[in-house]
Amino acid sequence: MIKVVFGNNRNAKAPIVLKLNAVIMYLTAVLFFVVFATAVVGVYYTVSITDAQNVYNEEKERHQHLVYTLDSLNLLVAQETEFVSRFSDFETELSIARGIAPVPDDIKRQSVGGRVLFPEKVRQLLGSPIEVQISEMDEEIAGNRRRLGFLEQRLITINETAERQRIFFAEKPSITPAQGRVTSEFGARNHPVLNRASIHEGIDIANVPWTPIIAAADGIVSFSGVRGGYGIKVDITHRNSGYLTRYAHLSQSAVNVGDIVRRGDIIGYMGNTGISTGPHLHFEVRRGGRPLCPRNYMIDASAMLR
């Protein structure tokens, strides 16, 4: 406690003044300390608030950027899903065009699985909506990848099947091997030379000598030469289809054993060799050694070659 003493004599004034000056200095120091402390606290909180505001703005900007990125990814995933869907439609159209049974849509979905639909409780366990969105996109991308893998394998299967079919039909007899008039049909008949009942295992097409004879299908020449009553004959083996075609009574063969021929290639010329009553082609179609009616494998060759 500062004690102020008042006196009537002249000597008492000095202690009073000194004591007042000490009080003023004390109060000034206290005020300065309060002002300084307030300023320091104010600066500290100002800096803290500014830093927090900067962090908030950065997080907000990062969040907005993330949302924008997710929206862009969503659009890309949607476009990818649309592409996969169109690819699936293309696979169906290609299957039909190639004469192959298409895979039903429900079978396709069962083969590759589908997108996971998150119930509300699962959403809560996963966390924020952004995390759920990312999980759903990831699942959809994985599903698209599985569907593309399935469709890719399916296209390989279609191409392999179509190639086998192409080879099969290329080697299946399908055109008339010579121009002319049919003089003897396939089946039972009275042999014109031997004059007895017999089975005619082919069909006879008559025309002028040296009429070109063409291959009825792709194949490889397995015989070319003279063979008994057939005279000069050519056999073509069509391995992939299982057929064999025979061309007999030729005046000349135009191929050798081992030659690969294509449908429509000239393989010889019509003649009157072997047991024959006139220039004609004896044409046979066989499969598994059994003769088949050539009528079922003959269309107009000129129409095919135009």
Q: Which of 108-117, 179-188, 227-236, 261-270 has the lowest mean pLDDT?
A: 108-117
Cα gap 183→262, rounded to integer Å: 27
Cα gap 92→90, rounded to integer Å: 5
Q: Which of 86-100, 196-210, 252-266 has the highest mean pLDDT?
A: 252-266
Check whether residue 1 and residue 141 sit in a common domain.
Answer: yes
| Average pLDDT value over all residues in the chain | 80
Check whether residue 73 and residue 196 sit in a common domain.
Answer: no
Check whether residue 16 and residue 132 sit in a common domain.
Answer: yes
Predicted pLDDT at 5: 47
pLDDT of residue 303 exceeding 50, the answer is no
Tell me, yes or no, whether 175 lies in a domain. no
pLDDT digits (tens, 9 = 90+) for 213-254: 999 999 999 999 999 999 999 999 999 999 999 999 999 999
Decide which of 120, 150, 170 is a domain's last residue.
Answer: 170
Check whether residue 115 and residue 216 sit in a common domain.
Answer: no
Tell me, yes or no, whether 63 lies in a domain. yes
* pTM (predicted TM-score): 0.60
Predicted pLDDT at 123: 53
Check whether residue 185 and residue 166 sit in a common domain.
Answer: no
Tell me, yes or no, whether 238 lies in a domain. yes
Number of domains in the chain: 2
Which residues lie closer than 8 Å to 215 by C-beta, 6 or more apart? 177, 236, 245, 261, 262, 263, 264, 265, 267
State which amino acid sits at residue 65. Answer: H
18 vs 181, more confident: 181
pLDDT digits (tens, 9 = 90+) for 88-142: 888 888 888 877 888 777 776 666 655 555 555 555 555 566 677 777 777 778 8
Domain region containing 95: 1-170
Contact present, 214 and 201 (Cβ < 8 Å)? no
Predicted pLDDT at 153: 86
DSSP symbols for the chain: -------SSGGGHHHHHHHHHHHHHHHHHHHHHHHHHHHHHHHHHHHHHHHHHHHHHHHHHHHHHHHHHHHHHHHHHHHHHHHHHHHHHHHHHHHHHTT-PPPPHHHHHHHH-------HHHHHHH-SHHHHHHHHHHHHHHHHHHHHHHHHHHHHHHHHHHHHHHHHHHTS--S-SS-SEEEE-SEEEE-TTT-SEEEE-SEEEE-STT-EEE-SSSEEEEEEEE-GGG-EEEEEEETTTTEEEEEEEEEEE---TT-EE-TT-EEEEEB--SS-SSSEEEEEEEETTEEE-GGGG---HHHHH-
Tell me, yes or no, whether 72 lies in a domain. yes
Tell me, yes or no, whether 198 lies in a domain. yes
Decide which of 146, 170, 194 is a domain's last residue.
Answer: 170
Check whether residue 107 and residue 204 sit in a common domain.
Answer: no
Check whether residue 122 and residue 20 sit in a common domain.
Answer: yes
% of the chain surpassing 70 pLDDT: 80
Check whether residue 158 and residue 19 sit in a common domain.
Answer: yes
Predicted pLDDT at 304: 37
pLDDT digits (tens, 9 = 90+) for 15-39: 666 666 777 777 777 777 777 777 7
Q: Which of 2-6, 48-52, 65-69, 244-248 has the lowest mean pLDDT?
A: 2-6
Tell me, yes or no, whether 142 lies in a domain. yes
pLDDT digits (tens, 9 = 90+) for 284-301: 999 999 999 999 998 864
Predicted pLDDT at 301: 47
Cα gap 200→189, rounded to integer Å: 6
Picking from 252, 248, 245, 247, the residue whose alpha carbon sits closest to that of residue 269 is: 252
Tell me, yes or no, whether 176 lies in a domain. no
pLDDT of residue 2 exceeding 50, the answer is no
Check whether residue 8 and residue 151 sit in a common domain.
Answer: yes
- Write the CATH number for 282: 2.70.70.10
Check whether residue 128 and residue 203 sit in a common domain.
Answer: no
106 vs 165, more confident: 165
Tell me, yes or no, whether 119 lies in a domain. yes
pLDDT of residue 51 exceeding 50, the answer is yes
Check whether residue 47 and residue 153 sit in a common domain.
Answer: yes
Check whether residue 131 and residue 277 sit in a common domain.
Answer: no
Decide which of 141, 170, 199 is a domain's last residue.
Answer: 170
